[in-house]
Amino acid sequence: MKNIGFIGLGIMGKPMANNLLKAGYKLIVYDINTEPVKELVKAGAKGGKSSQDVASQSEVIITMLPNSPEVKEVVLGNDSIIDGAKSGMIVMDMSSISPIASKEISEKLKQKGIVMLDAPVSGGEPKAIEGTLAIMVGGPQDAFNSVKDILAKMGASVNLVGDIGSGNITKLANQIIVALNIAAMGEAMVLATKAGVDPEKVYQAIRGGLAGSTVLDAKMPMVLDGNFKPGFRIELHIKDLMNVMDTAKELNSPAVLTGRVLEMMQVLRAEGKGKNDHGGLIQYYEKAANVEVRRKK
């Protein structure tokens, strides 16, 4: 069984690493925050001293980091993965970053005989804990085949979608659709509430039809309870939509609706709501209409 290095033990990374431990994999872990490292060491992992140290002891490395700059630093910076890596190693970046950055990092690693896969995830903290994430992978087929069993311990759906960068393109497509679904839900339910119609009854009436969606079923009950405790924070969705806009500009591809929803989310962040669940986007509409979409008591 492969020795796996895991770097980045935040809200998503820690439960993902824990699921690999439960599956019996040998794990070497590292994070600049020492608390999750200590927790995982207690659970059976080995603690690494740096990204370079983790790389020197691993055959496969997983990174789960906030954004492109952090991934570049951990993979290519000082005391980094590339300094400790051996030819033939596979680096799986499971962060949600710019596909352009994924390609740049992959090219640098390839010069040392290291293969990179970009493998971002969808599902948020609850599915990270359950090990039922959706994982979208870009990179060579043979490398994917060799790590698919590892990925299957963290996700219920694991799909190779194309060459390096394709995983993050797929994730960006996912994030566009999720953001626009949430915005549409907010717009519709504020309209219903403003008209004096019970939003819970509207939800129950439409959820079985074409307007029904996984997003609607996940977020509408939370909104009705006024529960904006994050599964996925607005500030993180802003990061993803910023990557959409950068990528769209690079590809000369229109992103009109994404740009508008991004602006709404940025307004909420400026109001101190950036750490709310992204379902809290409805608060933008609620404030404008001076109503709250809540369950009738």
Same domain for 123 and 184: no
Q: Flag whether the pTM goes above 0.85.
A: yes
Query: Would residue 297 count as lying in a domain?
Result: no
pLDDT means per 10 residues, the chain with 297 residues, are 92 97 97 97 97 97 96 97 96 96 97 97 92 98 98 98 98 97 98 98 98 97 96 93 96 98 98 97 98 93
Same domain for 154 and 35: yes
What CA–CA distance (Å, rounded) separates 164 from 138? 4
Same domain for 154 and 32: yes
In angstroms, what is the C-alpha Rg of the chain? 20
CA torsion sign for 222, 224, 225, 226 is positive
Under 8 Å between Cβ of 122 and 133: yes
Instruction: Give the type of residue at 89.
Output: M
Query: Would residue 85 count as lying in a domain?
Result: yes
Query: Would residue 18 count as lying in a domain?
Result: yes
Same domain for 148 and 12: yes
Same domain for 110 and 61: yes
pLDDT (0 to 100) of residue 297 = 77
What are the CB-based long-range contacts (under 8 Å, 24+) for 101-106? 101/68, 101/71, 101/72, 102/138, 102/164, 102/165, 102/167, 102/168, 103/164, 103/165, 104/72, 105/71, 105/72, 105/75, 105/76, 106/139, 106/164, 106/165
Query: Would residue 12 count as lying in a domain?
Result: yes
CA-CA-CA-CA dihedral for 22, 63, 33, 157, to nearest 10: -50
Same domain for 131 and 81: yes
pLDDT (0 to 100) of residue 200 = 98
Mark which of 164, 196, 222 sits at the end of a domain.
Answer: 164
Instruction: Give the type of residue at 225.
Output: D
Under 8 Å between Cβ of 292 and 228: no
Boundaries of domain holding 64: 3-164
Same domain for 223 and 98: no
Give the CATH number of the domain where residue 204 resides.
1.10.1040.10
Same domain for 208 and 77: no
Same domain for 174 and 54: no
Q: How many domains does the chain have?
A: 2
What CA–CA distance (Å, rounded) separates 6 from 108? 20
State which H helix or E strand residue 155 sits in: strand 155-162
Same domain for 251 and 223: yes
Question: What contacts 169, CB < 8 A, 6 or more positions away?
Answer: 99, 138, 161, 162, 247
pLDDT (0 to 100) of residue 1 = 64
Q: What angle do CA 63, 64, 65 make, to 5 degrees?
A: 105
Same domain for 154 and 29: yes
Tokens of 185: 């839900």
CA nearest neighbour of 180 among 248, 254, 257: 257
Q: What is the DSSP annotation of 29-89?
A: EE-SSHHHHHHHHHTT-EE-SSHHHHHHT-SEEEE--SSHHHHHHHHHSTT-HHHH--TT-
Mark which of 134, 164, 194 sits at the end of a domain.
Answer: 164
Task: Tell me, letter by letter, the H, E, C secondary structure of 163-208.
Answer: CCCHHHHHHHHHHHHHHHHHHHHHHHHHHHHHCCCCHHHHHHHHCC
Mark which of 127, 143, 164 sits at the end of a domain.
Answer: 164
Query: Would residue 294 count as lying in a domain?
Result: no
Same domain for 176 and 131: no
What CA–CA distance (Å, rounded) separates 122 from 236? 12
Q: Residues with catalytic annotation? A: 171
pLDDT (0 to 100) of residue 135 = 98
What CA–CA distance (Å, rounded) separates 256 from 295? 33
Under 8 Å between Cβ of 133 and 11: no
